[in-house]
Structure 1
């Protein structure tokens, strides 16, 4: 009798300790690149867990311009206010190529001005176009990842059932 009560208590404590919990993989800030009329032509998403010691993010999660996925970076810096994530980026500077190797984009945007400037080149360096752009409102998402604690819970419950079955 005492063993089964002790075993039940032990399983209860073990399952409370190893209950599945979510770990934050990071908050993701996403903003749209827009023409001055509000039409979207690109998107950028960054994980704020990638922040460096100076408060800048030097890599992206998703970066697309004019339907091209950006792959190669010669310069990329995104800055934001950690106390006001909903404001989105406060500064963005980039010099990048798309993954197909067709186009090169360079530009900058600063929230104080409300608009930015971008140039488009071929990867051979031929100028194609340039213009002003704005950034759409920020979207903040949280990515949750389940921890392996769920497996530990199932294993401890399984061992408990095996021990209980042997006692009978």
Structure 2
């Protein structure tokens, strides 16, 4: 036996429902329902559905966490932003490079990171590759060995 598909099944169900409602309307002894055009049409009253309400009970800490996350996204803590590495070596030289970088390029944030066994001086937090390329061109005038990278996805220095 062949199974009915969904379209045929829904058509048959709606056809039967229309037939049943027509029969009930013709046999309805209720005098308030008016038959027009010899019983072909039946006047139907539709009532409005009440509006649904939803109450959300959430911990107030969620708003605080969302604010912290928004700030971290703005600061670039989650995204693959570009940085430039100026130096890799001992702490004394790293502090000297950091001081020089902050004096020369005050518009960009510079910092020292410890990654075993060396200290690294990083500068910038660039959103786009174009922004990073412009900065790198300017930085290489003072620090010729500077190279670009994406934190967490470090690759070999790019020599241009």
TM-score (norm 2): 0.23
Higher fraction of strand: 1
Instruction: State which structure, 1 or 2, has the greater radius of gyration over its C-alpha atoms.
Output: 2
Pick 1 or 2: higher relative contact order, CA cutoff 8 A, min separation 6.
Answer: 1
* Structure 1 or 2: more helix by fraction: 2
